[in-house]
């Protein structure tokens, strides 16, 4: 059992293979945090072990014992207005207008497996894979209950946390803030690593010292966004890629979020993470409850690389759908960058035919097939086939594509509605808006009100009619703008503060409904590229289009950043025609992802076609090593500005793929690349050169690549090693 309770000190100890997490119940029934870090065997830690001394301005909220103050103690969960002035985890507001929130321990339960997550995306765990500690807290003044969940993974150094608020009071209450976790540390010499960006430049890592005061990484756009990601890491100053301690925090949620740090004058740091409190106000009737999204914390004592690998394994084994966990993804040809809106059935069939020649397994018909859509100004919401383009209808097109030997995939943008659409004309109240305010358009479109059941039913009905009309095995779900005038005409004033969260729940419900109806469907989420790349979405779609930027050099920082939390098999990556770098480098970078093509094969030269056939064969050969292997980031693209390198190693160390990219030409520069993740004693043969090396040589001495044909702007090198 990875959860222990020691009655003597009323102390809880959560153990993963290489980490421990300890906290205890104080005399005043606060939950005091004691330790999180590398595994320890001790449990005789007195609850006062890490407690800061009582400070003169700190409120004594202990009923006069004067022992501790929540102001300076490490708290397992923080209330508001009752002595802890730092970041709150939960804030409630009551009928009398006040908002103090106090949380005191009442009882706990320990059980195998995990708690019910209701309709929220969650870490999938069986009875044999995890144990859960469930703690009941209560506000003594109001009776409102708080259930703190800690699910401890037996095989991975990860904890899953969430909080449920249960209104056991006698009146309606409003939740004004519900974060999923609070994690206090007795140090503040951390760096904060987070991922920032914008459209076409998502998830670049930034590392900066945790500052005194509050730092917030957040989105209030209705989606997790291109700009920030619901994943942050606290790393010790000396923590590097493969050494040192770090703590990851990753939220399985696709809407507004904040991940906040607060360092205080007593030398501590608090992290809280969850739904963003801005515009959040959830009405909880007597007897009702609300569960927060799940947050996954990971401890690594071996650097950022190990933290990432733990997250990757977690995503592969416990978050993406079990159906796709075991299956190879199809190699797809997407019509977007090759055709944009300009295609008809014959063109798509030709794409399929040519694609088949090159080795493609699926044709994806992107935007432009429905309503009267010839550009981005109309028809979202009219999910019926544009017969002017697809003469003979969709079923006939799919039949012809399948006859060419390819499976068929399709594009939808279910959460959107164009003002110029039949659906809008029939139901103008179905789009997100505030009465009396002008609706802001973005990409000429509005957002449909996903909080409403009848709206979701209609979108589902339309999608189902398409999906049932012919064999469609892949669906790209796009989301091409953020939310403005955030309100539902169907929600009463006292529930408008629920709009953003209800929107996300509506999206989750519709994605789940699709998967229930078509359990083998491969869903790929997308949002103007990677504007909603998060653990919530990955629960439904095992892959997400990583960025609209398909330039391989630009992609390096995007993919390096994304890999901080998310595995290779989740990152939609295609070779496209539109960029200046050669096909070899485009493929070398796209291989670190789902891999596919997004171009018009009719425009390729014979030489390009031969190159692509070779790449497809290489993709099949290296698929297992990349998709189920471990990633080692060797030289990040920002390290010296000239070279970037990474390698994948199969988990059983039987194979490895090294990729080196020359961002720009180096003058007379020695280049030695040391691989990682191999078996020291084993002998590996490089398939490209036939040379043999021991794992120890490749990892310690490294490969001298100075004289390889790499000293050109945008050159690349792929070396595949197999154990002899």
Task: Name the residues annotated as catalytic.
Answer: 478, 548
Single residue of 315, 499, 545, 648 touching ligand GLA by CB under 6 A: 545
Phi-psi region of 343 (alpha: psi -120 to 50; beta: other; left: phi over 0): beta
We find the least distance from the C-beta atom of residue 293 to ligand GLA, in angstroms, to be 24
We find the least distance from the C-beta atom of residue 218 to ligand GLA, in angstroms, to be 23
Quick one: which segment of 14-22, 188-196, 521-529, 578-586 binds ligand GLA (CB under 6 A)?
521-529
Q: Which helix (H) or strand (E) holds 91?
A: strand 90-93
Closest CB to ligand GLA among residues 408, 618: 408
As beta bridge partners, residue 137 has 105, 146
How many other CB atoms are there within 10 angstroms of residue 4's CB atom?
16
Q: Which helix (H) or strand (E) holds 416?
A: strand 416-417
Q: Binding to ligand GLA (CB under 6 A): which residues in 400-429? A: 411
Quick one: which segment of 74-82, 202-210, 388-396, 524-532 binds ligand GLA (CB under 6 A)?
524-532
Residue 249's alpha-carbon distances to 229, 300, 662, in angstroms, are: 11, 12, 32
Phi-psi region of 113 (alpha: psi -120 to 50; beta: other; left: phi over 0): left
Quick one: which segment of 515-523, 526-534, 694-702, 707-715 binds ligand GLA (CB under 6 A)?
526-534
Binding mask 488-507 toward ligand GLA (x if CB under 6 A, else -) reads --------------------
We find the least distance from the C-beta atom of residue 361 to ligand GLA, in angstroms, to be 19
Q: Is 366 in the site for ligand GLA (CB under 6 A)?
A: yes
Instruction: Round to whole Å and give the CA distance between 720 and 562.
Output: 23
Q: Is 478 in the site for ligand GLA (CB under 6 A)?
A: yes
How many other CB atoms are there within 10 angstroms of residue 616's CB atom?
18
We find the least distance from the C-beta atom of residue 506 to ligand GLA, in angstroms, to be 21
Closest CB to ligand GLA among residues 70, 371: 371
Instruction: Round to whole Å and give the CA distance between 158 and 183.
Output: 14
Residue 41 burial class via C-beta count within 10 angstroms: exposed 0-12, middle 13-18, buried 19 and up: exposed
Closest CB to ligand GLA among residues 21, 336: 336
The torsion defined by the Cα of 233, 234, 236 and 241, in degrees rounded to 10, comes to: 0
We find the least distance from the C-beta atom of residue 337 to ligand GLA, in angstroms, to be 8
Q: Is 524 in the site for ligand GLA (CB under 6 A)?
A: no
Buried b (16+ CB within 10 A) or exposed e, 675-708: bbbbbeebebebbeeeeebbbebbbeeebebeee
We find the least distance from the C-beta atom of residue 455 to ligand GLA, in angstroms, to be 21
We find the least distance from the C-beta atom of residue 443 to ligand GLA, in angstroms, to be 8
We find the least distance from the C-beta atom of residue 535 to ligand GLA, in angstroms, to be 20
**Exposure on the CB side of residue 72, measured as CA atoms within 13 A:** 19
Residue 447's alpha-carbon distances to 229, 316, 434, 484, in angstroms, are: 22, 32, 12, 9
Record the tokens describing residue 25, joined without a space: 């119940």
Record the tokens describing residue 28, joined without a space: 């005043």
We find the least distance from the C-beta atom of residue 579 to ligand GLA, in angstroms, to be 15
As beta bridge partners, residue 181 has 273
We find the least distance from the C-beta atom of residue 334 to ligand GLA, in angstroms, to be 7
How many other CB atoms are there within 10 angstroms of residue 385's CB atom?
19
Q: Is 596 in the site for ligand GLA (CB under 6 A)?
A: no
Q: Is 380 in the site for ligand GLA (CB under 6 A)?
A: no
Instruction: Round to whole Å and give the CA distance between 322 and 328.
Output: 12
The SS3 of residue 26 is: coil
Instruction: Round to whole Å and give the CA distance between 340 and 369.
Output: 11
Q: Is 101 in the site for ligand GLA (CB under 6 A)?
A: no
Q: Is 351 in the site for ligand GLA (CB under 6 A)?
A: no
Q: Which helix (H) or strand (E) holds 509?
A: helix 499-517
We find the least distance from the C-beta atom of residue 525 to ligand GLA, in angstroms, to be 10
Of 502, 546, 549, whose CA–CA distance to 524 is shortest? 546
Q: Is 367 in the site for ligand GLA (CB under 6 A)?
A: yes
Instruction: Round to whole Å and give the CA distance between 490 and 474.
Output: 33
Binding mask 322-341 toward ligand GLA (x if CB under 6 A, else -) reads --------------x-----
Of 557, 535, 536, whose CA–CA distance to 547 is shortest? 557
Q: Is 548 in the site for ligand GLA (CB under 6 A)?
A: yes
Closest CB to ligand GLA among residues 311, 545: 545
Of 577, 617, 331, 592, whose CA–CA distance to 474 is shortest? 331
Closest CB to ligand GLA among residues 101, 480: 480
We find the least distance from the C-beta atom of residue 415 to ligand GLA, in angstroms, to be 13
Q: Is 528 in the site for ligand GLA (CB under 6 A)?
A: yes
Closest CB to ligand GLA among residues 442, 490: 442
Total residues in contact with ligand GLA, by rule CB under 6 A:
11
DSSP 629-679: SEEEEEE-TTTSSSEEEEEEE-TTSSEEEEEEEESS--SS---EE---S--
Record the tokens describing residue 199, joined without a space: 């459209």
Single residue of 529, 535, 695, 714 touching ligand GLA by CB under 6 A: 529
CB 362 within 8 A of CB 474: yes
Q: Beta strand 158-166 with 145-153: parallel, antiparallel or unpaired? A: antiparallel
Closest CB to ligand GLA among residues 370, 648: 370
**Exposure on the CB side of residue 148, measured as CA atoms within 13 A:** 26
Single residue of 316, 401, 526, 616 touching ligand GLA by CB under 6 A: 526
**Closest residue to ligand GLA in the complex (CB):** 367
Closest CB to ligand GLA among residues 235, 416: 416
How many other CB atoms are there within 10 angstroms of residue 638's CB atom?
13
Q: Is 139 in the site for ligand GLA (CB under 6 A)?
A: no
Binding site for ligand GLA (CB under 6 A): 336, 366-367, 411, 478, 480, 526, 528-529, 545, 548
């Amino acid at each position: 059992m990875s959860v222990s309770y020691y009655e003597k000190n009323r102390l809880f100890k959560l153990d993963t293979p290489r980490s421990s997490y300890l906290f205890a119940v104080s005399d005043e029934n606060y939950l005091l945090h004691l330790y999180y870090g590398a595994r320890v065997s001790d449990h005789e830690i007195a609850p006062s072990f890490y407690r800061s001394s009582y400070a003169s301005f700190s409120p004594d909220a202990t009923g006069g014992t004067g022992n501790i103050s929540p102001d300076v103690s490490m708290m397992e969960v923080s209330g508001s207005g009752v002595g802890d002035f730092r970041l709150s985890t939960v804030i409630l507001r009551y009928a009398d207008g006040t908002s103090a929130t106090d949380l005191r321990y009442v009882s706990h339960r320990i059980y195998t497996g995990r708690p019910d997550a209701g309709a929220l995306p969650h870490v999938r765990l069986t009875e044999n894979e995890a144990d859960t500690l469930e703690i009941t807290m209560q506000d003594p003044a109001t009776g409102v209950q708080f259930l703190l969940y800690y699910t401890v993974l037996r095989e991975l150094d990860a904890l899953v946390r969430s909080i449920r608020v249960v209104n056991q009071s006698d009146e309606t209450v409003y939740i004004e803030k519900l974060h999923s976790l609070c994690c206090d540390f007795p140090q503040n010499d951390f760096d904060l690593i987070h991922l920032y960006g914008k459209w076409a430049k998502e998830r670049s890592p930034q590392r900066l010292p945790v500052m005194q005061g509050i730092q917030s990484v957040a989105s209030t756009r209705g989606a997790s966004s291109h700009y920030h990601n619901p994943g942050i890491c606290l790393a010790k100053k000396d923590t590097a890629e493969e050494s040192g301690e770090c703590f990851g925090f990753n939220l399985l949620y696709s809407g507004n979020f904040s991940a906040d740090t607060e360092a205080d004058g007593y030398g501590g740091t608090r992290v809280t993470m969850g739904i963003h409190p801005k515009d959040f106000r959830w009405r909880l009737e007597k007897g009702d409850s609300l569960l927060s999204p799940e947050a996954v914390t990971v401890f690594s004592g071996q650097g950022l690389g190990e933290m990432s690998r733990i997250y990757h394994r977690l995503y592969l084994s416990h978050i993406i759908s079990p159906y796709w966990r075991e299956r190879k993804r199809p190699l797809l040809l997407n019509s977007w960058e090759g055709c944009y809106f300009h295609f008809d059935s014959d063109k798509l069939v030709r794409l399929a035919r040519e694609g088949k020649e090159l080795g493609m397994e699926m044709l994806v018909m992107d935007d432009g097939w429905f309503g009267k859509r010839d550009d981005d100004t109309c028809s979202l919401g009219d999910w019926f086939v544009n017969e002017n383009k697809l003469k003979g209808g969709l079923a006939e097109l799919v039949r012809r594509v399948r006859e060419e030997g390819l499976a068929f995939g399709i594009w939808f943008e279910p959460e959107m509605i164009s003002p110029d659409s039949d659906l809008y004309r029939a139901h103008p109240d179905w789009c997100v808006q505030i009465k009396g305010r002008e609706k802001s358009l973005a990409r000429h479109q509005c957002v449909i009100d996903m909080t409403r059941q009848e709206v979701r039913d209609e979108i589902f009905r339309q999608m189902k009619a398409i999906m049932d009309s012919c064999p469609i095995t892949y669906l790209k779900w796009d989301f091409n703008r953020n939310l403005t005038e955030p309100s539902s005409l169907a929600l009463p004033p006292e529930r408008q503060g629920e709009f953003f969260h209800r929107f996300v729940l509506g999206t989750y419900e519709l994605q789940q409904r699709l998967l229930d109806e078509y359990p083998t469907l491969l869903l790929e989420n997308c949002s103007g590229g990677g504007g909603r790349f998060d653990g919530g979405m990955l629960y439904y779609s095992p892959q997400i289009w990583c960025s609209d930027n398909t330039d391989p050099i630009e992609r390096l920082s995007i993919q390096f950043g994304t890999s901080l939390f998310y595995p290779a098999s989740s990152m939609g990556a295609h070779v496209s025609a539109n960029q200046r770098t050669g096909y070899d480098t485009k493929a070398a970078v796209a291989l670190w992802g789902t891999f596919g093509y997004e171009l018009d094969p009719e425009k390729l030269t014979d030489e390009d076609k031969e190159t692509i056939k070779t790449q497809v064969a290489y993709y099949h050969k290296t698929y297992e090593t990349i998709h189920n292997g471990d990633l080692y980031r060797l030289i990040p693209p920002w390290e010296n500005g000239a070279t970037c390198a990474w390698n994948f190693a199969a988990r059983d160390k039987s194979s490895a793929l090294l990729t080196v990219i020359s961002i720009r030409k180096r003058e007379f520069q020695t280049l030695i690349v040391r691989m990682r993740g191999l078996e020291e004693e084993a002998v590996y043969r490089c398939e490209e050169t036939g040379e043999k090396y021991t794992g120890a040589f490749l990892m310690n001495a490294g490969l001298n690549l100075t004289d390889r044909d790499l000293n050109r702007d945008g050159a690349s090198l792929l070396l595949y090693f197999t154990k002899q």
